[in-house]
Structure 1
Amino acid sequence: MHGVAMSVETHSLRTGAVVVFYNPDAACVSRANRIAAMLHCVVIDNTPGITTAAALGLSELVQYVANGENVGVATAINQGVERLVISGFDFAILFDQDSEPPANLLTELPAVIAKANQVGDRVAIAGPAYDDPRLRGVAPFVRFRWFKLERIVPTGDQPIDVDFLISSGSCINLRWWSNVGPMDDSLFIDFVDLEWCARAKHKGFRVLGVPWVRMSHELGGEPVRIFGRAYPMHNPLRHYYLFRNAVALAKRRSVPATWKSTELIKLPVRVVIYCCFPSDRLEHLKMVWRGLCDGARGRLGAYRTRR
């Protein structure tokens, strides 16, 4: 599959990109401009306050949408993908504002899906292996197993069936977008990609890791090291969403029981790591507790400050 020669039919298919902004700096704008020079690029800006593409320094090639507020990652992705669907695109590659895709990602991932389409294979999404040098280098692909994750080293020249891909760098097959449905707006952020992949697989679609495509991507803030192992750290609000959505997804039938069994073990460990090691421990603990309670109650959407 690696380096596969695309047919005339594949060449005629159109790929677009969706980039989600939130308080972007100049480097984020430059990355979006580089993507726009290669693909049609939709930028959805969740930064509070309305601005313009010209004020940010975005290329005229970019289709820019300013939400004026943070409506969440899921909603922003949906807005971008729907614009590509309306314009007749076949594939949508998703990016965070700090993701730097290699050139082959923009061609190899659509080629993998186009090949599947030609043979009637129901592939919903394909994604690269990612490399976060702050953590453990190239991350393995993942399959859910009872009480643990099966970690698959990304090697070889064939796509690998997996259970989950992070959204940034992944290529959605728009042929099946309406069948799977949009990202879940109510989750706002965290586990949005996992829920979508789980839903796609629940409906009989495949999720493919493409091992020969690698993308640099940083997970979370500056990691903390505990017993020689690095864990990505987030701010207290992100920890609220992480714990809330984990509990909320544990109640859904479309999410596999194998993942739920793993989370049952990992959640207490996360509480210890995220609440005992940051400097503002009390704030982290408070937001984790609120997340757990809201997840159990089914209170989703954007976090609202308590009185």
Structure 2
Amino acid sequence: MSNLDQYSSRREQAGVVIVFYRPDHACVSRANRLAQVWPCVVVDNTESASTPAALGLNARIDYVANSANLGIATALNQGIERLMAAGCTSALLFDQDSEPSTELLEGLPRLLDAELGRGAQVALIGPAYEDARLGGVAPFVRFGYLKLRRVPPVGTRPVDVDFLISSGSCINLAVWREIGPMEDALFIDFVDLEWCIRARSKGYAVLGAPGLRLAHELGGEPVRIFGRPYPSHSPVRHYYLFRNAVALIKRSYIPWSWKSTEIVKFPFRLAIYGLFLQPRFEHVRMAMIGIWHGLTGRMGPLNQR
């Protein structure tokens, strides 16, 4: 029996999915706090199997130990399926290091319900994210040819956007089957973007909630380039970023407004990796392998042997 069964008689129908990867004590504490608000599934992609008791997880949390890094897409799909089986109608998705407020945890499902009550066809709603290292609250994004269009998160009415990062977003599970799950083959990077594009291609809205914020660190420690902070990642993450970008550019349902923006960014990203990130050669090498694998259709997890 799932630990979520105890919630079956509750009026609230939202649930939480948190993806773990080598979590520390702070990650466990966050999960335990979130489980006080909504039913919660933790999907652990750590390579070594653990147990809820060993980690110190609240007994109410439904814990899934994959004993392997199956990627963010697969882990989110697993958690969402568990929530749907427990009768939840919306799913709040979080990385293990996200710091959602109680206002966000309660406000996003409420906003989603309000929009659906107005007759809107909504797939996803999410907050503006705030990373103090990168200059504060980030704008929402609409695709534009050669350059993304920034939408300031002001006011209280939800705004139509082209995509949201997965962490902090709230999915309308009533349309999950029609849109389909996150794409396992992408593994990580652009998983959320591809799902949002697919949802919009089927006529569903992706909405930003400008009145809500999520404290979320995007990537590793930023590097400063000409005085401006720029998010950094490991060479392996840059492999996935380039590979998946190339793979998506090849697809007909992906809009050319996004494709053109990514193509323009390629040389600038490679220059940044080669000049400002250490080890420089490894960052560029992994990016180039990613481009090759994207062109040749090699997807799924990277085999580093």
TM-score (norm 1): 0.95
Counterpart of 1:198, as a letter, is I
Deviation at 1:112, TM superposition (A): 1.6
- The question of 1:159 aligning with 2:165 is answered no
Alpha-carbon displacement from aligned partner over 1:214-264 (angstroms, at most 9, x marks no partner): 011000001011111111111110000000000001011221110001011
Counterpart of 1:200?
199
Corresponding residue SS for 2:16: strand
Quote the offset at 1:13 in angstroms. 4.4
Question: Which structure 1 residue ranges, 5 or more long, are not aligned?
Answer: 1-10
Structure-2 residue corresponding to 1:128: 127
Taking every aligned residue pair, what percent have the same amino acid on both sides?
58
Return the offset for 1:271.
Answer: 0.8
Amino acid at match of 1:169: G
* In 2, Cα distance between equivalents of 1:250 and 1:87: 37
Q: Does 1:51 align with 2:50?
A: yes
Supply the AA of the counterpart residue of 2:87: G
- Residue identity in the other structure for 2:48: G
**1:142 counterpart residue number:** 141
Give, as a single letter, the amino acid of the residue that structure 1 aligns with 2:131.
Answer: D
- Is 1:106 the equivalent of 2:105? yes
Tell me how far 1:116 sits from its aligned partner: 2.2
Residue 260 of structure 2: SS of its match in structure 1? helix
SS of 1:212's equivalent in the other structure is: strand
CA shift, 1:139, in A, is 0.1
Once the two structures are superposed, residues 162-216 of structure 1 have per-residue CA deviations (whole angstroms, 9 ceiling, x without a partner) of: 0010000000000100111000000000000000001100111000000000011
> Displacement, 1:82?
0.5
Equivalent position SS for 2:134: coil
Partner of 1:239, secondary structure, is: helix
Equivalent residue, structure 2, for 1:251: 250
The amino acid that maps onto 1:290 is I
Where do 4+ consecutive residues of structure 1 move more than 4 Å?
Answer: none
What is the DSSP-based 3-state SS (H/G/I as helix, E as strand, rest coil) of the residue aligned with 1:49? Answer: coil
Q: 1:206-217 maps to which residues of 2 (within 5 A)?
A: 206-217=205-216
C-alpha separation between the residues in 2 aligned to 1:92 and 1:184? 17
**Does residue 258 of structure 2 align to residue 267 of structure 1?**
no
* SS at structure 2 position matched to 1:59: coil
In structure 1, the partner of 2:170 is: 171
> What is the letter of the counterpart of residue 295 of structure 2?
A
Which structure 2 residue ranges, 5 or more long, are not aligned? 1-9
The aligned residue for residue 183 of structure 2 is 184
TM-score scaled by length of structure 2: 0.95
What SS is found at the alignment partner of 2:43?
strand
The amino acid that maps onto 2:237 is R
1:297 aligned residue = 296
| Cα RMSD after superposing both structures | 1.0
CA distance in 1, matches of 2:291, 2:13: 42
Alignment of 1:213-232 (within 5 A): 213-232=212-231
